[in-house]
């Protein structure tokens, strides 16, 4: 598996290729090749800032000798009117990278800000906040990084780093018990066995996992359970497995789930309901 930096470099390369194609002709036609310049990232909306390290990486991959001066850091609460960073580089680099930097930081800051609002609701509770795989194709790396910056916990990154038996897996396999047995046998044949999480839809499902999943399953997902049903399920589980509540949890209801004592709540809306933040990259006239 490639490192975060390697994956980020690949994402940036592909994103620039998508945007630049055979050339940034607006810049090539109007700015001399050797011209140097500075630009500043201006914050135009109160937010939790995310993407500072990504912005620096974008500029540095395009021009290793550029100078990046950070005034803020990832995860910091910032307000309208503040400045996040200044970059000194060739004007070609600044203009070619401008939109990619803004697209990444605006999206990431929106996700980090929404995640922060959720984690504030969990203060004082045992429960922690998970993201999901409900992400934008080819942008998952940065969306999940934004969740982490905002104070959330990353769930599995993809289909390869955990076995997660959801409703369709279970139904196609003929039930929870055969699905767990098949998944556990498969995992044990791997060089590095994967952990198994099982989705449950009823208290009977929970009882089944409790009866035959010890030593095989590490987490039980309680899908679309009400807080009252989660409380009953937790009594059945009695600490034998990690627990995750999922399904329709939002800012208005998350505290009622946390009050049950469940270990995690997962919220797909952290990413797919987040709104981008208003930022701008402006030339500094020398």
Counting every residue written for the chain, the total comes to 286
Q: Clarify whether 223 is annotated catalytic.
A: yes
Tell me how crowded residue 202 is: count the other CB atoms within 10 A of its CB: 14
d(CA 86, CA 185): 54
Query: Which residue among 98, 197, 223, 263 is the active-site one?
Result: 223
Sheet holding 128-130, edge to edge: 128-130, 264-266, 242-246, 219-223, 196-200, 163-165
Q: Clarify whether 22 is annotated catalytic.
A: no
Please check whether residue 115 is in contact with residue 147, taking contact to mean a CB–CB distance below 8 angstroms. yes
Q: Clarify whether 134 is annotated catalytic.
A: yes
Query: Which residue among 74, 131, 197, 199 is the active-site one?
Result: 199
Dig out the tokens for 126 from the structure: 């045992």
Please check whether residue 41 is in contact with residue 74, taking contact to mean a CB–CB distance below 8 angstroms. no
Q: Clarify whether 36 is annotated catalytic.
A: no
Torsion angle of the four alpha carbons 65, 70, 76, 80, in this order, in degrees rounded to the nearest 10: -120
Query: Which residue among 72, 134, 195, 201 is the active-site one?
Result: 134
Query: Which residue among 44, 73, 99, 133 is the active-site one?
Result: 99
Please check whether residue 105 is in contact with residue 51, taking contact to mean a CB–CB distance below 8 angstroms. yes
Query: Which residue among 73, 133, 166, 207 is the active-site one?
Result: 166
Q: Considering just the CA atoms, what is the radius of gyration of the chain in Å?
A: 23
Q: Clarify whether 181 is annotated catalytic.
A: no
Please check whether residue 256 is in contact with residue 142, taking contact to mean a CB–CB distance below 8 angstroms. no
Nearest residue to 112 (alpha-carbon basis) of 271, 278, 280, 4 = 271
How many Cα atoms are found within 13 Å in the side-chain-facing hemisphere of 180? Answer: 22
Q: Which residues are catalytic?
A: 99, 134, 166, 199, 223
């Amino acid at each position: 598996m490639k490192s975060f930096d390697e994956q980020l470099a690949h994402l940036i390369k592909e994103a620039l290729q998508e945007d630049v194609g055979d050339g940034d002709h607006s810049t090539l036609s109007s700015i001399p090749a050797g011209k140097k310049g500075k630009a500043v990232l201006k914050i135009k909306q109160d937010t939790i800032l995310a993407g500072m390290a990504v912005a620096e990486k974008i500029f540095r991959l395009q021009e290793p000798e550029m100078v990046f001066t950070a005034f803020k850091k990832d995860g910091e609460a910032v307000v309208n009117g503040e400045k996040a960073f200044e970059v000194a580089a060739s004007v070609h680099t600044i203009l070619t990278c401008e939109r990619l930097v803004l697209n990444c930081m605006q999206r990431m800051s929106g996700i980090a800000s929404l995640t922060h609002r959720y984690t504030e609701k969990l203060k004082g509770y045992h429960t922690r906040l998970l993201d999901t795989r409900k992400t934008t194709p080819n942008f998952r790396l940065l969306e999940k990084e934004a969740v982490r910056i905002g104070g959330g916990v990353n769930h599995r990154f993809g289909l390869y780093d955990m076995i997660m038996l959801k409703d369709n897996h279970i139904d196609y396999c003929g039930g929870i018990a055969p699905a767990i047995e098949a998944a556990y046998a498969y995992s044990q044949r791997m060089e590095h066995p994967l952990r198994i999480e099982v989705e449950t839809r009823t208290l009977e499902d929970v009882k089944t996992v409790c009866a035959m999943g010890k030593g095989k399953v590490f987490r039980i997902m309680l899908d679309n359970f009400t807080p009252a049903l989660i409380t009953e399920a937790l009594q059945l589980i009695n600490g034998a497995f990690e627990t995750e509540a999922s399904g329709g949890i939002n800012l208005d209801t998350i505290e009622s789930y946390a009050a049950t004592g469940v270990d995690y709540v997962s919220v797909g809306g952290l990413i797919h309901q987040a709104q981008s933040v208003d930022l701008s990259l402006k030339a500094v006239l020398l």
